[in-house]
Structure 1
Amino acid sequence: MTHYVYYNDTNGDILGISPNKIDELSRYKFTKIASDVVAPFLEFKESHIKWSVDLMKKFGGVNIKWGVTENLVMDGEKLICTPGGSDANIIALNKNTGQLIWKSKGNGETSAYCSPLIVKYAGKSIILTHTKDHFLGVDAKDGKLLWKYSWPNRWSVHPNTPLFKDGEIFISSGYGKGSAMLKLSADGNSVKELWTNESLDCQLGGFVTVDGKIYGAGSNSRKWVCLDWKTGKELGSADMGKQGNIIYADGLLYCYSESGYVILNEPKTDGYNEISKFKVPYGEKHHWAHLVIADKKLYVRHGTSIMVYSLAAN
């Protein structure tokens, strides 16, 4: 099957079509690992592939059940990705040429659908990401594994990008795994566990932090949970039909439930205060695509349909 990426302006008009495998935008250039494990780099305006690397053939990448998928991150000229092989487990490529800068054995596990986060701490750029059974901290300078934290779950699925604040790292995975807060050491070379919580076991919808609280949806409980950042205590919850994804903008929580509703909530110290909601009118199959807000517009994708809603005051 051939896949394509459509380039649309904000009015929905198609500007161009290119072969798939993209995501992170940087001066019209962007990239993504897709299930065939090829990382291309495209020029947005000209819609042609500038370079392409087969991560399986060149770096011994290992595909996984639903296909290796992650949004790549950049650290200067370095493009970070996770082939998941035993030797080149995590690699850094030159974003302009595709040439290898460094490779890391990591913890020798397959990738786990996680889009990494790079944080600046203790004079380092640290890559925070999940692989099959562990959460890792890797030095973005040379690929050195700084530390690992055991974090297995039923299907080895950990797609949620972690949260980071003041040396503390929040992670959450679904299928009953739950959440954990980790604390980096002063030099960033180790972590310790501060707390764990089972009620927020986020499967794939992500989570946000607002005013010392963490908001997100649990997969086993099917409830939307509010946790205290410092203690992990559940402060409140809400029933929005099913789990889903969440973003925060202009003091409000935008929640997209797998039940097919977009729900606007005010974040409260004890949970969620529903303001309004609407049923997504178009599309098919799963309500899994994450919401996006840009230029006072809310973008909602459901299957092959994209809808745009104005958030501007009348």
Structure 2
Amino acid sequence: QRGDEERTTCHDLRSGEVLWSHAELVRHEEPLGGPGPRATPAIDGERVFSMGATGILNALDLQTGERLWRVDVALTAGVGRPIYGFAASPVVQGDRVIVVAGGNRGRSLYAFDKTTGEVVWSGGNAPYGYATPVVGTVAGVEQWVALSEGSVNGIDAADGTLLWSQAWPQPTEHTVQPKLLSGDRVLVSSGYGVGAKMYRLKAGDSGIDVDILWESIRLKAKFSDFVIREDHVYGLDDGILTAVALDDGSRAWKKGRYGHGQLLLVDDLLLILAEDGSVALVEARPDEYVEHGRIPVLEGKTWNHPALAGSSLLVRNAQEAVLLELALE
């Protein structure tokens, strides 16, 4: 956010120089998250898809930033702006770009033609959820799995049909993307005292049946995505790093305070951008917690995801961005 303009910008990776900038004359701001957009742009070939906090979806040329098409998703779905803004990121699948709208009567999730911006389908009835949906084949059906306010839903990727829905506790917002696992399993987690559930989906006589394999309070993913390595999930449990077994939800360990930061899995290591702006390296192993080091990088509250390209690590928050060059062995 730059004043009254919400911007999508392209920067030179090495110098940080702005190569192009696209502006929308809109502004979203609230006390907890501050001003500006929340969603991560999606790059597909020579197109960039950006979702603004007020609900404007833009398709931009990757090289120039020229606008190819624009859709006001809030207006299209007939919904109001969520209190924390439209925060779920757009996702490209084939010739479609998928966004969360949060409307009822089949308007919760939208698929737009990525070339023209025309609506291909809409589906689901859940209110807005801040988590980005994930797509995959589960129980023999390619589907989008979305965590929304009050429910977890499976929506047919072909036409937007609601395949299944499970109630989810809703004391407050849910922000973390579900994970699709082998064996037709779906792992979902949220914070504020809720925890995690492992579902198994299977084809039934009248559609898709859903069983709960386990529930656990051991992983409460509030803002931070969790990652899977072998038979354990690693994530921030209300700000403390934890390792939890995938088979039963039991805790292997819980150590290391990183606040509401973000983490990446890089081979057998966890690369963590902590809420205080420091970067840490931790082994992804269930038998013990091993932190190899932590360095201060950014100042101020840091909720943004880091991005890794080869040996280049880009970290940022609302005030600044820093490029780190990692030593690879």
Q: Is the 8 A contact 1:180 1:195 kept in 2?
A: yes
After superposition, the CA RMSD in angstroms is: 1.8
**2-side partners of 1:42 and 1:74: how far apart?**
14
Amino acid at match of 1:211: E
For residue 23 of structure 1, what is the aligned residue in structure 2?
Answer: 41
Alpha-carbon displacement from aligned partner over 1:101-136 (angstroms, at most 9, x marks no partner): 1122x1x33211111100023543210111110011
**For 1:259, which of 269, 276, 297 is the aligned residue?**
276
- 8 A contact 1:23–1:30 mirrored in 2: yes
Corresponding pairs, count: 307
Match for residue 218 of structure 2? 199
Seen in structure 2, the aligned counterparts of structure 1 residues 275 and 159 have a Cα distance that, compared at 3 Å, is same
Give 3-state SS (helix, strand or coil) of 2:76's partner.
helix
User: Equivalent residue for 1:299?
Assistant: 314
Deviations 1:12-39 (A, max 9, x none): 2321111267601001312232221111
3-state SS of 2:208 partner = coil
Show the 5 A alignment for 1:171-186: 171-186=188-203
Of 186, 189, 201, the match for 1:169: 186
Q: How far apart are residue 62 of structure 1 and its match?
A: 3.0
Give 1:241 deviation, angstroms: 4.7
Runs of 5+ consecutive residues of structure 1 not aligned to the other structure: none
- Alpha-carbon spacing, 1:58–1:241, altered in 2? closer, same or farther (3 Å): closer
Give the structure 2 partner of residue 232 of structure 1: 249
Q: Distance in 2 between matches of 1:27 and 1:256?
A: 28
1:6 to 5, 9, 12: 9
Q: Which blocks of at least 5 consecutive residues in structure 2 are unaligned?
A: 25-36
Would you say the 8 A contact 1:117–1:127 is kept in 2? yes
Matching residue within 150, 158, 163 for 2:174: 158
What does the per-residue CA deviation read over 1:192-236, in whole Å, with 9 as the maximum and x for residues that have no partner? 1111111211111100011211000112xx321110011100110
1:1-314 map, 5 Å:
1-11=4-14, 12-19=16-23, 23-87=41-105, 88-104=107-123, 106=124, 108-155=125-172, 157-166=173-182, 167-186=184-203, 189-219=208-238, 222-280=239-297, 282-284=298-300, 286-313=301-328
Give TM-score scaled by structure 2 length: 0.88
Is the 1:23–1:31 contact (alpha carbons within 8 Å) kept by the matching residues of 2? yes
Letter matched to residue 304 of structure 2 = A
Q: Secondary structure at the match of 2:64?
A: coil
- Between the aligned partners of 2:203 and 2:115, the Cα distance in structure 1 is 34
Alpha-carbon distance in 2 for matches of 1:58, 1:307: 37
